[in-house]
Amino acid sequence: MMKKLLLTLTLIAASFSYAAAQSMISGVVTDATSEERLPGVNVVISELSIGASTDADGQYQIMNVPDGSYTLTVTYLGYKKFEEAITVSGTDLAIDIALEQDILGLEEVVVTGVGRGTQTTKLGFSVAKISEKSIEEVPPADVGNAIRAKVPGVTILQASGDPSAPATIRLRGSTSLGSDQSPLIIVDGVITDGNIRDINMLDVESIEVVKGAAAASIYGSLAGNGVIQILTKRGGDTFDKPRVTFKSENGFSQIANKYPSTDKHPWNMDGIVLSDDGRYILEWPNYEVLDTDADGNALGFVNNYPVFYDNIDNVFTGQPYSSNYVSVSSSARNYNYSGSYELYNAGGVLDPVDPFKRNTLRFNADYVPDSKLRTGISASYITSSNPSITEQGQGNNYFYSVLTSEPFMDLTEKNPDGTYSNKPTGYDVQGSNWQNPLYVAEQRQFESQRDRILAGVNASYDLLDNLSVNARQSLDKRYQTNSTFYPKGYQTPTPSATVNDGSYALTEITASTAISEFWLEYAESFDKFNVSAIAKYLYENREYESVSASGYNFNAQGVVNLGAVDPSTYSIGSYQQTEKAENYFVNVDLDYDDKLIVSGMIRRDGSSSFGEEERYQTYYRGSLAYRITQDFDISNVQEWKVRASYGTSGQRPPFAAQYETFNVSASGISPNILGNNAIKPSTVAELEVGTDLSFLDRFSFVANYAVTNVENDYLLVPLPPIAGYGAQWQNVGKIENKTLEFGLNGQLVNTKDVSWSFNVSWDKTSQMITDLGGPGFTLDAGGALALFRIEEGVSYGAMYGNIIATSLDQLTTDADGFVINYGSGLTLSDFEVNPDGYVIQAGTHGTADESVVYVFDEVSGERLVGKIGDTNPDFKMGISTNYSYKGFGVYALFDWVQGGDVYNYTKQLLYFNYRHEDLETYTNEGYHFNYMQGNSLYNLSDANQHFVEDASYVKLRELAFSYTLGQDKLGALGQYVSDVKFSVIGRNLLTFTNYTGWDPEVALRSNATNFRLDEYAYPNFRTFSASVQVRF
**Per the structure, how many domains does the chain have?**
3
Residue spans of alpha helices (H) in 369-413? 398-404
Core vs surface per residue 960-982: b (16+ CB within 10 A) or e: bbbebbeeeeeeeeeeebbbbbe
Q: What's the pLDDT tens digit per position in 79-103?
A: 888 888 888 888 888 889 888 877 6
CATH number of the domain that residue 188 is part of: 2.170.130.10
pLDDT confidence bin for 6, thresholds 50/70/90:
very low
Is it the case that residue 10 has pLDDT exceeding 60?
no
Asked whether residue 115 falls in the same domain as residue 94, the answer is no
Q: Kindly state the DSSP code that residue 653 receives in the 8-state scheme.
A: P
Asked whether residue 226 falls in the same domain as residue 124, the answer is yes
Residue type, 125: F
- Which of 176, 203, 232 is a domain's end point? 232
Asked whether residue 215 falls in the same domain as residue 159, the answer is yes
- Which of 824, 840, 863 is a domain's end point? 863
Q: What's the pLDDT tens digit per position in 394-425?
A: 777 888 889 998 888 899 999 999 999 988 88
Interatomic CA distance for residues 6 and 22, integer angstroms: 25
Asked whether residue 141 falls in the same domain as residue 201, the answer is yes
Interatomic CA distance for residues 245 and 231, integer angstroms: 19
* Model pLDDT, residue 948: 97
Interatomic CA distance for residues 128 and 212, integer angstroms: 11
Asked whether residue 177 falls in the same domain as residue 113, the answer is yes
Interatomic CA distance for residues 387 and 790, integer angstroms: 34
Is 707 among the domain residues? no
Give 668: exposed, middle or buried? Use CB within 10 Å, 0-12, 13-18, 19+: exposed
Q: Kindly state the DSSP code that residue 216 receives in the 8-state scheme.
A: H
Q: Mean pLDDT, to the nearest integer, of 727-737?
A: 93
Asked whether residue 52 falls in the same domain as residue 127, the answer is no
Is 941 among the domain residues? no
Asked whether residue 131 falls in the same domain as residue 220, the answer is yes
Q: Kindly state the DSSP code that residue 916 receives in the 8-state scheme.
A: B
Is 59 among the domain residues? yes
* Domain, as residue range, for 27: 21-99
Give me the residues paired with residue 281 across strands.
Answer: 273
Q: Of 28-37, 277-286, 289-298, 447-456, which range is least confident?
A: 277-286
pLDDT confidence bin for 297, thresholds 50/70/90:
low
Give me the residues paired with residue 511 across strands.
Answer: 478, 544
* Model pLDDT, residue 589: 94
Q: Mean pLDDT, to the nearest integer, of 233-253?
A: 86
Is 597 among the domain residues? no
* Model pLDDT, residue 1023: 95
* Model pLDDT, residue 270: 54
Percent of the chain whose predicted confidence (pLDDT) is above 70 = 92
Give 82's contacts (C-beta < 8 A, 6+ positions apart).
72, 73, 74, 75, 97, 99
Q: What's the pLDDT tens digit per position in 774-806?
A: 888 888 756 668 899 999 999 999 999 999 999
- The rounded mean pLDDT for the chain is 88
Is 47 among the domain residues? yes
Interatomic CA distance for residues 992 and 874, integer angstroms: 17
Q: What's the pLDDT tens digit per position in 900-939?
A: 999 999 999 999 988 999 999 998 898 988 899 888 999 9
pLDDT confidence bin for 429, thresholds 50/70/90:
low
Q: What's the pLDDT tens digit per position in 972-997?
A: 888 888 899 999 999 999 999 999 99
* Model pLDDT, residue 273: 52
Is it the case that residue 3 has pLDDT exceeding 80?
no
E-assigned strand segments in 112-163: 118-119, 128-131, 154-157
Percent of the chain whose predicted confidence (pLDDT) is above 90 = 60
pLDDT confidence bin for 36, thresholds 50/70/90:
confident
Q: What's the pLDDT tens digit per position in 110-132?
A: 888 787 788 888 899 999 999 99
Asked whether residue 159 falls in the same domain as residue 227, the answer is yes
* Model pLDDT, residue 299: 62
Give me the residues paired with residue 521 across strands.
Answer: 468, 534
Contact 346, 141 (CB under 8 A): yes
Give 510's contacts (C-beta < 8 A, 6+ positions apart).
477, 478, 479, 480, 543, 544, 545, 546
Q: Kindly state the DSSP code that residue 828 receives in the 8-state scheme.
A: G
Asked whether residue 79 falls in the same domain as residue 117, the answer is no
Q: Of 194-203, 599-608, 1018-1027, which range is least confident?
A: 194-203
Q: What's the pLDDT tens digit per position in 476-530?
A: 999 999 999 999 999 888 888 999 999 999 999 999 999 999 999 999 999 899 9
Q: How much is the pTM?
A: 0.89
Q: What's the pLDDT tens digit per position in 600-641?
A: 999 999 999 999 999 999 999 999 999 999 999 999 999 999
CATH number of the domain that residue 63 is part of: 2.60.40.10
Is it the case that residue 287 has pLDDT exceeding 60?
no
Is 183 among the domain residues? yes
Asked whether residue 227 falls in the same domain as residue 113, the answer is yes
The number of beta carbons lying within 10 Å of the beta carbon of residue 416 is 6
Task: List the Cα angle 965/970/976 in 5-degree steps.
Answer: 110
pLDDT confidence bin for 387, thresholds 50/70/90:
confident
* Model pLDDT, residue 236: 67
Asked whether residue 138 falls in the same domain as residue 224, the answer is yes
Q: Give the 3-state secondary structure of residue 888.
A: strand
Is it the case that residue 109 has pLDDT exceeding 90?
no
Is 133 among the domain residues? yes
The span from the first CA to the last CA of the chain, in angstroms, equals 67
* Model pLDDT, residue 595: 93
Give 666's contacts (C-beta < 8 A, 6+ positions apart).
none
Is it the case that residue 203 has pLDDT exceeding 60?
yes
Of the two residues 169 and 391, the one the predictor is more confident about is: 169
- Which of 186, 214, 232 is a domain's end point? 232
Q: What's the pLDDT tens digit per position in 934-971?
A: 889 999 999 999 999 999 999 999 999 999 998 888 88
* Model pLDDT, residue 288: 44
Is it the case that residue 847 has pLDDT exceeding 60?
yes
Q: Mean pLDDT, to the nearest integer, of 335-352?
A: 91
Asked whether residue 138 falls in the same domain as residue 219, the answer is yes
Is 439 among the domain residues? no
Interatomic CA distance for residues 390 and 800, integer angstroms: 26
